[in-house]
Structure 1
Amino acid sequence: MTVEEYISQKRREQRALSDSSQQRRLREMLKKLARKNGFYTVPIQFYLTKKEQVAVDLHGLPNAKNAEQSLLHNHDYFELMYVRSGSCFNVFESEKITLHQGDILLLNPNAKHDPFTTSEGDCLFNIMLSRELFEQSMLPLLSDNHLISNFFVDYMYHINKTQDYLYFPSRNTKAISPFLEEIILEYINKEQGYVQVIESALVILFARLGRIFAQENHIESSVSNKLIVDVIVYLNQHSADVTLSSLAAEFGYSSGYLSKLIRKHTGQSFTDILSNFKLEKAKHLLETTAHSTDEIAQLTGFHDASYLSRSFRSKYGVTPSSCRDTSRRSL
């Protein structure tokens, strides 16, 4: 299936559903949530199959609206917006921006916004990227790409105040479009190996975007910023067995210097940030595997199931077994 065929098929489906009772109930529910909280949250699980970390969706039908009619939402994932044709409006809490054909917008999960298009010729693709995608596979490949890696790391590990979005105008993205088209095509057709092809295309896409942004804005890399990203990525990858001494040996700095660097950029101690990484991995294993609590304690570096259970309850407010039960009920 070509991208054009997918767009035609998707538009027919959207029109068929646009005035269904199910859609009306959904719109009313979202309005109530937005009125109550000021926004609602869109979960990535709504889009992903079990083996996927990336989802692609064509934005809904044209819908002219003013700022007062907007329903702001955020996500539990990163979102890459790509205007394939026409234009798109995006309402944020304090501004409204217009995107044109070829423009790209990368949003962090906390960004509250409401995108919409106004004419049939407008075609906006949303590419949804899970946090796990970056934690598990992409950050090491992006560590030299300071703009992009800092954007993701700042959000995930609270290193600095995160920008709501990065904007890449179309005048700079002509060489980028083929990678976006490939991601969309691979996702639509889901042929053998499509997950790996999409992730590979994303690495190239982000590398090109980071290069373009740095050249346009005359940005030189900061040694300390690069170091903290590299340190955080290494800690996450080796959380089960890393120590402050082994970290110092790996990077060639003293333990004291790295301890101060971590606290300066994250506001957390080495011990605290390491414990958070271990607990996040334990939670992921509880939700996605059949490993026992004892096995997970060993795999994540807690070594003792009782210690894992106490730490887990302190962070998440529930026991590991309760977390696993809740995850199974939601499937």
Structure 2
Amino acid sequence: MDALLLKQLMELTEEEIEILSQEKKVRKDLYTSQRHFIIESEKFLDKNKMITVRKHTRFIDFPKHRHNYIEINYVVKGKLKQKVDNDSITLKKGELLFLNQHIEHEIEACGDDDLIINFIIQPLFFQFIFQYLNGENIITEFLINSLFNHTQNGQYLYYSVSEVEEIQELVEKIIKEETDGSLMAESKMKLYMGLLLIELVKNTDKITKNQSASSQHFIVVESLKYIEEHYRNGTLQELAQHLLQSSSSLSKNIKKATGFTFKDLIQEKRLMKAKELLETTDFSVRTVVEEVGYDNISYFYRIFKEKYKKTPKELRKELVK
């Protein structure tokens, strides 16, 4: 890693200074507003961001907890000892550990010479990834269990990839973008994270995983790919023909695997795309509505406000403040 970046990351944070000067106890209010120790992405991510990087706090044991997001632990220097579910894992330099939001872990205190980076990622960030991941593999299984709370399967992926240069370079680029804080930082981080996942798929021989319940991965992956490409005018009937299933059977299988109907999934994609267009283009609201596949603007306004708690015009007003 770049020497200047490494020096910057090794500096004590305010939280670490407080831990060293006072009683060594985790301040839960910094991590959660809930009674149970569920670390919340809202504590670290701005509401419009999907991904961020945070240095793991040293000098203190972290009690058993889980997250409402996907976390990736990466060791820059030293090691990270933790118990994940019922497995004891010592993560070493250059190694990665993926944790979905349904699994619990507890962490031993890190010392002066340990440097661990945590990637905090909203599960919905990964939806577009499915079109680039062909067939069933460990990554798609992990992402499906993470995207759809319906499964409730706690899962981790432990990657021993310290010798894979392409992966190490991509991880460093993501960290550097976060610390530099440039105008296009998050867009670059998303790009690099997508490339990282593709590289990890190519290195499945270096994975250790816990056992988890299987789900109908092929159906879910193919359905999400279809929705990604045909969200404007796609239909359950057309998808069913593509998958050589009846519409009713496919509908039941999608609902069983994800907890959502086909209509729910395609509406979610349309609303996400509409929000993206409102934030990044000068299209009129009517044009945005048409671009994402709706012809009833009143209906669009209603479901958009239900999801984002504001109208399209209110969203745009906030952007110019």
In the superposition, the TM-score normalised over structure 2's length comes to 0.73
Q: Deviations over 1:123-165 (max 9, x none)?
A: 21223445454223x22112425221122123324452232x4
Contact 1:141 1:203 in 2 (8 A): no
Name the CA distance, whole Å, in 1 between partners of 2:122 and 2:76: 22
Partner of 1:59: 56
- Residues 274/117 of structure 1: CA separation in 2 closer, same or farther (3 Å cut): same
Shift of 1:316: 4.7
Matches of 1:267 and 1:180 in 2, distance apart? 33
**SS at 1:80 equivalent:** strand
| Structural mapping, 1:70-81, within 5 Å | 72=65, 74-76=67-69, 78-81=70-73
The total of aligned residue pairs comes to 307
Q: Quick one: distance in 2 between partners of 1:130 and 1:272?
A: 19
3-state DSSP of counterpart to 1:120? coil
| 1:328 equivalenced with 2:315 (yes/no) | no
Question: Structure 1 or 2: larger helix share?
Answer: 1
Give the secondary structure class of the aligned counterpart of 2:40.
Answer: strand
| Aligned-pair identity (%) | 21
* Residue of structure 2 in register with 1:142 after alignment: 133
Measured in 1, the distance between the counterparts of 2:108 and 2:280 equals 35
Aligned to 2:200: 206
Considering only aligned residues, what root-mean-square deviation do their CA atoms show, in Å?
4.3
Shift of 1:81: 0.8
Does the aligned pair in 1 maintain the 2:130–2:224 contact within 8 Å? no
Cα pair distance change 1:86/1:145, threshold 3 Å:
farther
- Alpha carbons 2:73, 2:96 under 8 Å: kept: yes
In 2, Cα distance between equivalents of 1:130 and 1:36: 22
- Counterpart in the other structure of 2:29: 30
1:88 is paired with a residue of what secondary structure? strand
Gaps in structure 2 of 5+ consecutive residues: none
The residue aligned with 1:282 is 274
Counterpart position of 2:157 = 167
Counterpart residue type for residue 198 of structure 1? Y
Question: By how many angstroms is 1:276 displaced?
Answer: 2.8
Corresponding residue number in structure 2 for 1:179? 166
Unaligned runs of 5+ in 1: none
Rate the CA distance shift 1:157–1:324 in 2: closer, same or farther, 3 A. farther
By how many angstroms is 1:229 displaced?
Answer: 1.5
CA contact (8 A) 2:45 2:52 kept: no
TM-score of the superposed pair, with normalisation by structure 1: 0.71
Partner of 2:224: 232
Q: Indicate the SS of the match to 2:198.
A: helix
Task: Report how far residue 202 of structure 1 moved.
Answer: 0.7
Q: Is the 1:145–1:210 Cα contact (8 Å) retained in structure 2?
A: no
Deviations 1:156-207 (A, max 9, x none): 24452232x413164xx3544x234202332355599965872464133320
Do 1:87 and 1:117's aligned partners in 2 also have CA atoms closer than 8 Å?
Answer: no
Q: After TM superposition, give the deviation of residue 18 of structure 1 in Å.
A: 4.7
**Residues 44 and 264 of structure 1, relative CA distance in 2, 3 Å threshold:** same
The answer to whether the 8 Å contact 1:294/1:304 transfers is no
Cα deviation for residue 104 of structure 1 reads: 2.6
Aligned partner of residue 241 in structure 1, secondary structure = coil
CA distance in 2, matches of 1:74, 1:148: 19
